[in-house]
Amino acid sequence: MKKIVTIVGARPQFVKAAVVSRALQNEGIEELIVHTGQHFDANMSEVFFEEMQIPKPKYNLEISNLNHGSMTGRMLEKIEEILIIEKPDFVLVYGDTNSTLAGALAAAKLNIRVGHVEAGLRSHNNKMPEEINRILTDRIASVLFCPTDTAIENLAKEGYGNFDCRIVKSGDVMQDAAMFYSKSSDENSTILKKLKVDSNSYILATIHRQENTNDPQNLINIIGALNDISSQTTVILPLHPRTRYILEQQGITTLFKTIAPVGYLDMISLIKNCSMVFTDSGGLQKEAFFFHKHCITLREETEWIELVDFGYNTIVGSNRSKIVESYWQMRNKSSDFSRNLYGNGHASETIAKLLANL
């Protein structure tokens, strides 16, 4: 039986791993999950494993709240120890976090093959820690599972045709998850009732990227814009614990509704029923598209460029007036969301079947 060690540590990775783990089981592959602990808050970690029925991690490294170098180094050390014990055929990593890079590095140094889910994505901004993580992980990986044609084109431009690796257009596993858990969200989520909001009566916002949270002026601008918009419509912001702490430290006042982080089923409900999304998250940009919502991205660039090209997404950075202006431009916009940009909901099956036969 083929054996795979999956490395996860951050909230979006739990979502992706949930659907891939199910597909791996269907292919008869033994999977062991290592949780690095990068997201340690119960609302951002444990609830995902419970409500999404992800197999419990065999190992939890509890490594969090450190600088990038320290965090990645400690993860690398601990993951290496685990891989020496478990001797897997493959290590599977997701996305672009410190957990992703540490898992890939540990495997590569032990000559264990690496599969990278969400390979080939580029923001072309090397100041983003995530950009460095994804570039280095791609270069290490044996199999690069690309969600889009753009991702494959990025790898081609970087000369990956000359490297000893396999490039696969798998589609996006987050679309698999969105489709699979949508019905469960309808049946089980009570978040709208708790918040006392109606469908299409509010904007959903998230802020967590370091370029926004670590720059007081960027954060002041974004919160100021959301305060302005909240005078026109309800704004709901599930607040990352780190962002909440920084807001308190900086004395930045929010005039809209902030709530604790929510589980995936509640988050799906919030996305499906909002009128628009404001975010600096990569994953939420896609989820907005999956559920036919326009998105305003609070960054200077995006790795999901096709969303911008087709008018589903607009990039505004942290410019207060531009954020507000984009809200007015997007609020009544009509778009065709039927384009198949991210596969047909079978990305996880594609990944599992390929791994079973390698």
Hey, which residues are catalytic here?
208
User: How many Cβ atoms sit within 10 Å of the Cβ of residue 33?
Assistant: 21
8 Å CB contact between 159 and 268: no
- Residue 236's φ and ψ, nearest 5 degrees, are -120, 125
Helices 173-188 & 11-26 angle (0-180, nearest 10): 100
DSSP assignment of 139-186: HH-SEEEESSHHHHHHHHHTTGGGSS-EEEE---HHHHHHHHHHHHHH
96: Cα within 13 Å, side-chain hemisphere: 20
Cα–Cα separations (whole angstroms), residue 307 to 9, 212, 267: 27, 21, 20
175 closest CA partner among 348, 335, 50, 47: 348
8 Å CB contact between 179 and 291: no
Residue 41 CB-density burial (10 A; 0-12 exposed, 13-18 middle, 19+ buried): middle
319 closest CA partner among 336, 337, 296, 340: 296
> Whole-angstrom Cα distance, residue 144 to residue 142?
7
Question: Which structure tokens are listed for 184?
Answer: 């469960």
Cα–Cα separations (whole angstroms), residue 170 to 110, 120, 156, 339: 26, 12, 16, 17
